[in-house]
Chains A and B, each alone.
Chain A
Amino acid sequence: MAAIVEWASAAFIVIGGIFLFVGSFGLAKLPDTMRRLHGPTKATTLGIGSLLIASMIYFVLLHQAAGIHEILITLFLFLTAPVSANMIAKAHIFRNEEARRTLPQDAGGSGWATLAAAPNAQEPSHGRGL
């Protein structure tokens, strides 16, 4: 039993290391920012998830109890990776004229990243709420 757990943990560690390397290699190798976003946001998140699974399995073997910390870190990273990728993409579109020109038309007509308010935005109501 212990040998199986150790093998599984080692396999997950190796897979995680490979995925982290693939994500960073994509970041260094791919030609433009929008394509470079793919490496870190997908492969790297998968790699860190694999490492945390390995850590969970290994600590079950070591202390006979699974930790909640790894699940917390995994959940947090899996929730925040798309948010940060979206923010970086928006900043890139906002700062890059060529990216804005070559993108398809968006539904609202105000562009993918703009400083203007949304066309049907409500006026802030004073005296109500909060």
Chain B
Amino acid sequence: MIAAACAFAMITISISIMLNIYRLIIGPAVTDRILALDTMVINAIGLVVLIGIVFGSAIYFEAALLFAMVGFVSTVAFCKFLLRGNVIE
């Protein structure tokens, strides 16, 4: 049951990452591309959590937590750069 659910979720998340890459490539504005990268990081966290469930191992959660933190910081840094032309003033 868990294996089937994980396979389903991995398929949907893979399709989601492809949709994000589509938006990342065609996105007309640069903010669309930042948004696509942010969503891609969240999808990657989902994949890491699913891999942790499939392998029954708890060490993947540190990776997921690091992904969450780095993704947030990079999104804020991109937006800050667009707003101010500088990341750390």
- Chain A residues packing against B (C-beta within 8 Å): 6-7, 9-11, 13-14, 16-18, 20-21, 23-25, 27-28, 33, 36-37, 39-40, 44-45, 47-48, 51-52, 54-55, 58-59, 62-63, 67, 69-70, 72-73, 76-77, 80, 83-84, 87-88, 90-92, 94-96, 113, 115
Closest chain A CB from B1 CB (angstroms): 5
Closest chain B CB from A3 CB (angstroms): 9
Q: Is the CB of B15 within 8 A of A88?
A: no
Given A92-B29, A95-B82, are A73 and B68 also a contact pair (CB < 8 Å)? yes
Residue total for B at the interface (Cβ-Cβ under 8 A): 52
Residue of B nearest to A59 (CB): B58
- Give chain B residues whose Cβ lies under 8 Å from the Cβ of A51: 9, 46, 49-50
Partner of A27, one of B19, B30, B45, B56: B19
- Chain B residues packing against A (C-beta within 8 Å): 1-2, 4-6, 8-13, 15-17, 19-20, 22-23, 29-32, 34-36, 38-39, 42-43, 45-46, 49-50, 52-53, 56, 58, 61-62, 64-65, 68-69, 72, 75-76, 78-80, 82-84
Q: Is the CB of A24 within 8 A of B61?
A: no
Interface class of chain B by DSSP: helix
Q: Is the CB of A95 within 8 A of B30?
A: yes
User: What number of A-B contacts does a CB cutoff of 8 Å give?
Assistant: 164
Q: Is the CB of A7 within 8 A of B9?
A: no
Partner of A69, one of B10, B20, B43, B58: B58
- Give chain B residues whose Cβ lies under 8 Å from the Cβ of A45: 42
Closest chain A CB from B11 CB (angstroms): 8
